[in-house]
Amino acid sequence: MADHSLRLVQKRTVEWGHYVFGIMLFGMAFLVPDTAETEEIALRNTAILMDLSVTSGAVDVRVEEVPLFDPAAPITASQTLDTQFPINQAFHSGDNTMTFRVRFTPSSDPVVVPSLKVAIGAYTGISWPSIGENRPLVSDFELKPVLTPEGRYLVEVQERHSEQEVLQAGELTHISGDGLPESWNTYQLRLEVALPLSEFAWQQGQILSATPDTEQSLRDEYQRLFHILSQKDSALYRQALWPFLSNMSAAQGLDTETYTAMSLDPVIGPQSDYDPVPYSAVGSHLELFREGRLAALVPIPLKFRHREWDDEATLFIYFWKDQAGQWQIIH
C-alpha cells in the first residue's frame, strides 16, 4: 500500500501577513518494499529532503546554477520561516553543485536573531519526517551574523557532515560576496547523488542567446501556455505540461496522473478556488541558465489567485529549444 502525502512549499512574507505559493508542489509515494523488490525500486522511493529555516533574511537556492524558486523572489522572512521540501527533481545522478545566496536584515527586535539553517539528507520510509525530526543527514549547517573583536559583523558558518549510502556532501564553501551580513554572499555545497535519476533532456538543447527575438519568442510561448492553463481544463493542461509533469512525478516516484491530481489540480484544476491572474509579462525579462540551454521570463508570468484569501500561486516553468528549433517545457 502506498502512502501518498502532499507537501507544499510555502513562502510567508511576514510583513504582509499572507502566503505566496510557488507551485513547487510535490507529491511523494513511499512504498513498503518486500524482499523481492530490486535496489533500484527502493532507491526510487527515496526522497532527498531539505529543511530550511530563514530568520530576518533572504535566500536564493540553486542546483547546478538552476534556481529552485523564482529567482525574482528569493525566500524571505522578517521573522522566522520554516519549510521542508524534496529536491530530487533538481539533481542528476553523480556530482551536483548546490548554491545558497543569502543576506540578512538587522532586526530591531532583540529576540529575532538573523540566521539561515539548512539540513539535507536522504530518507526512505512510509512517511516523511517533520522539520527538525531525527533523521539521517549529510549536511547540517547554519549561517548567522556574529560580532568580531573589531566591532563589526561578519557571517559565521557552523556545519556538520556525514555520509549516507545514496548521498554524500562536501564542506560548505564561500564563493562570492564580502562576508558582511547585509550583502549578498554565496555559499557552495557539493553533493554526490547515488539515486537512479533520469538525465535531463534539455542538456541536448540549443544554446540560446539573450536577444530581443529570443525574448519575444519566449514571451509568446508563455502567453500561449497561460491561455491553455487559464481554461482550467484538466485534459488540456495535462497535455501542455506533460514534460514538466513527467519529470516531476518520476523524480518523486509517482505515476504522472497521481502527481498531477495531488499537485496541480488543487490550483489550476476545474474545481479549484484559484482564478488566473490576467496575463502580463510587463516587468519580466529573459534569463538564461545552464550555459544558455534553459530560459525563463523572470518574474514568471503564470499566476493564479485564490478567490477568498490573498494568496497567489506561480507555476515555475523553464523552457528550452530542441535542435529542430521548437520550444519545449521543463521545470
Tens digits of per-residue pLDDT, 19-62? 233 333 332 222 222 333 334 444 556 788 999 999 999 999 99
Q: Phi, psi (5° rounding) for residue 204?
A: -95, 10
3 state SS of 118: strand
Most confident of 13-22, 67-76, 270-279: 270-279
Annotate 107-127 with b (16+ C-beta within 10 A) or e (fewer).
eeeeebebbbbbbbbbbbeee
Q: Phi, psi (5° rounding) for residue 226?
A: -60, -40
Which of residues 248 and 185 earns the better pLDDT score? 185
DSSP letter at 128 equals P
**Alpha-carbon distance 25 to 331, whole Å?**
12
Provide mean pLDDT across the span 305-320: 89
**Alpha-carbon distance 316 to 313, whole Å?**
9
Beta bridge partners of 131: none
Which of residues 267 and 33 earns the better pLDDT score? 267
pLDDT on residue 258: 87
pLDDT on residue 5: 27
Please answer whether residues 72 and 299 qualify as being in contact, where contact means their C-beta atoms are separated by less than 8 angstroms: yes
CB hemisphere CA count around 150 (13 angstroms): 3
Q: Burial level of 200, CB count in 10 A (0-12/13-18/19+)?
A: buried
**Alpha-carbon distance 66 to 44, whole Å?**
22
Residue 14 has pLDDT above 70, yes or no: no
Please answer whether residues 96 and 62 qualify as being in contact, where contact means their C-beta atoms are separated by less than 8 angstroms: no
| CB contact set of 162 (below 8 Å; sequence gap of 6+) | 136, 137, 138
pLDDT tier, 243 (very low <50, low <70, confident <90, very high otherwise): confident
Q: 316: which 3 cell numbers?
A: 515555475
pTM of the model: 0.80
Read off the amino acid at residue 184.
Answer: W
**Alpha-carbon distance 318 to 330, whole Å?**
5
CB hemisphere CA count around 78 (13 angstroms): 9
Most confident of 29-38, 128-137, 183-192: 183-192
Residue 2 has pLDDT above 70, yes or no: no
3 state SS of 222: helix
**Alpha-carbon distance 296 to 63, whole Å?**
16
Count CB atoms within 10 A of the CB of residue 85.
Answer: 20
